[in-house]
Amino acid sequence: MRKEKRKHRLLKAVLCLGLAGILCYGGLIAFVYIREKEEAVSMESLEKDYDAIIVLGAQVLQNGEPNTQLAWRLDAALEAWQARPVPLVTCGAQGKDEPLPEAEAMKRYLMARGVPETQILTDPDSFNTSQNLKNAAALLQPLGGIRKVLIVTSDYHLPRAMALAMDQGFEAAGLGSPCKPEYWLKNHAREALSWVKYWLMKAAGRG
């Protein structure tokens, strides 16, 4: 009888922990969504006072073209550059299933749409957002006078990217592009875990 009670209490504890974990994870996803909405701004209302544009990478297809999500980021960056032609940094290394570095594919896409090669700096070595912003800062540093950067990425990713840019000493503005609706939950769930990693790194003094 006691053994059965212990099993029942253990099962109850496991279920309670599982429920608490689900609620916490759901809360983190809600946090990502709220932060995304807080940072949302249209191109029309964006202040055109940035000194450089940093556009973050995403998947490149086997034909060398950006996937839909990356093309949307690049289109937003192009519109921002047309409004204020400043140095533009493309970030992203080559994944194992990609034919070339994301940064290079992004550069080609922008050049084909009128951005001069001399205006584009490429970071083909970064594999995550933290590396994106560190490498972009290093590329922009020799130019001098770069005070405010415009971060361009997908909307769910924008708040954390801006936080990492500010960690690099930038004053950051942001311009988000949409994500495909069918990937909404996957992207927000993954971004929630990335925020946890960011906070842990900050707490450890490694952010």
Q: What average pLDDT does range 9-13 have in this prediction?
A: 71
CATH number (domain holding residue 94): 3.40.50.620
φ/ψ region of 26 (left if φ > 0, alpha if ψ in -120 to 50, else beta) reads alpha
Label residue 38 exposed, middle or buried (CB < 10 Å: 0-12, 13-18, 19+): exposed
Residue 15 lies in a domain: no
The yes-or-no verdict on residue 36 having pLDDT over 70 is yes
Residue 2 lies in a domain: no
- Its domain, for residue 52, covers 38-203
Residue 32 lies in a domain: no
Q: What is 75-126 written as a DSSP string?
A: HHHHHHHHHS---EEEE----TT-SS-HHHHHHHHHHTTT--GGGEEEE-S-
Cα separation, 29 vs 42, whole angstroms: 23
Residue 126 lies in a domain: yes
Please write the tens of the pLDDT for every residue from 50-109: 999 999 999 999 999 999 999 999 999 999 999 999 999 999 999 999 999 999 999 999
Residue 177 lies in a domain: yes
Please write the tens of the pLDDT for every residue from 109-152: 999 999 999 999 999 999 999 999 999 999 999 998 898 999 99
17 CB neighbour count, 10 Å cutoff: 10
Residue 85 lies in a domain: yes
Residue 9 lies in a domain: no
Q: pTM to 2 decimals?
A: 0.88
Note the pLDDT of residue 27. Answer: 87
Domain count for the chain = 1
Residue 27 lies in a domain: no
